[in-house]
Amino acid sequence: MSLINETHSPALKSWVEQANRPGSDFPIQNLPFGRYRPMGTDEDFKIGVAIGDQILSLQGTGLIDSPDMNALMALDSTTRLELRRAISRGLAHGSEQQQAWSTLLINQSAAEMAAPCRIGDYTDFYTGIHHAMSVGKLFRPDQPLMPNYKWMPIGYHGRSSSIRVSGQTFRRPRGQTKTPDAAQPTFGPSRRLDYELELGYFVGRGNDLGRPVSIEDAENHLFGVTLLNDWSARDIQAWEYQPLGPFLSKNFATTVSPWLITTEALAPFRAPLTRPDGDPQPLPYLDAARNRKEGAFDITLEVLILTERMVGSGLPPQRLTLGNAGSAAYWTAAQLVTHHTVNGCNLQPGDLLGSGTLSGPAANEAGSLLELTEGGRQPVVLANGEQRTFLEDGDTLILRGWCERPGAVRIGLGEVRGTVLA
């Protein structure tokens, strides 16, 4: 696992002054990777590092010689640590690189962002136990959790081709739905469109086909974390998901942040994996002392909504929920990697593992409208008088995340925005 070193020092400051401002998502202690090009051009996308409100061209520094983010992600842990140290030293106050590197900056507002890497495969898991319990109670009051839930990470294979970066707009999905009292299904636009607040874990170094990744080695195969909105058509899902799981209800859109927050940056914000008293402990292949001690991430997660009427009235987005990933996830990212490969499945650099909806135990920590409105029975009343049971055309959903602890500099995950079109 990544260790805390000089790149995390609270005393460290950057010559990019905006990065030193309290509350900045991208101080010098963060240094996330993304792909960008100047707005309005058809240039090839380049690898950049976010610093304050700027982006540093990593290729321009000479520290890498390829624009291929997936190749960078495949580097071994030692090489990645050395790259992080070199970037940190070059951006630090008093750096000899300041004059040369200052010409390699572009303001984030002047940049077009792409998905942070080539995403070959996408697996969405179901690690949020409070979400699983809440949704289970809605549909199976006598058995909210299936018998396998506490024994292994549950997941399904998603669709990578419809994953887009923050700012994504998409048409309301259409499909078959069936109400309980109807004799047959009907076809049309989803009336129960929802968001899902998730983290995305990106694979760095892959594994060969037939060679499982042990729980002790799993962290060495993780590159970083991003915010993820796995949009869901609940009415389509309810009719289609038996017996093989979600299909058209999920594959129409998934939105991710443009920034990959590395596991190295998250080192000061690790948390222990805990199990409620009486719950089974993981089977040996999913269990390790270090994973128990610091396998989870202490990340605050926020959901906001911005409706068309709010935009027209000049109102800011309104918070729907606020929670924490560390207390929401039943399985760690390392356990997802290990379970995914235990049968010999080969992961590749850039593969994306979704955490599943990360809801907390309280109502104001729900990670979806399905939970927040109790299946649509209790509408959310917004400050301007509008009500929502599920998303309406023109609604923009915003996810934000950040880490903060005493003795460490706050770092952010940026944000994910997506808008529903008619």
- What would the two tokens of residue 209 be? 């086909």
Active site residue 131: yes
Percent helix, strand and coil across the chain, each to the nearest 5: 25, 30, 50
E strand residue ranges, 195-307: 197-203, 222-229, 232-233, 254-256, 261-262, 270-271, 296-297, 300-306
CB-based contact 229:401 (threshold 8 Å) = no
Q: Bin 407: left if φ > 0, else alpha if -120 < ψ < 50, else beta.
A: left
- State the maximum Cα–Cα separation within the chain, in Å, rounded to a whole number: 74
Between strands 105-107 and 54-57, the pairing is antiparallel
Residues 6 or more apart whose CB falls under 8 angstroms from that of 311 comprise none
- What would the two tokens of residue 188 be? 């049309």
What DSSP line would sit under 260-284, residue for residue?
BEETTTTGGGEE-----TTPPPPPG
Catalytic option among 131, 221, 339, 340: 131
**Start-end of H helices in 140-284:** 234-240
Residues 6 or more apart whose CB falls under 8 angstroms from that of 42 comprise none
Active site residues: 131
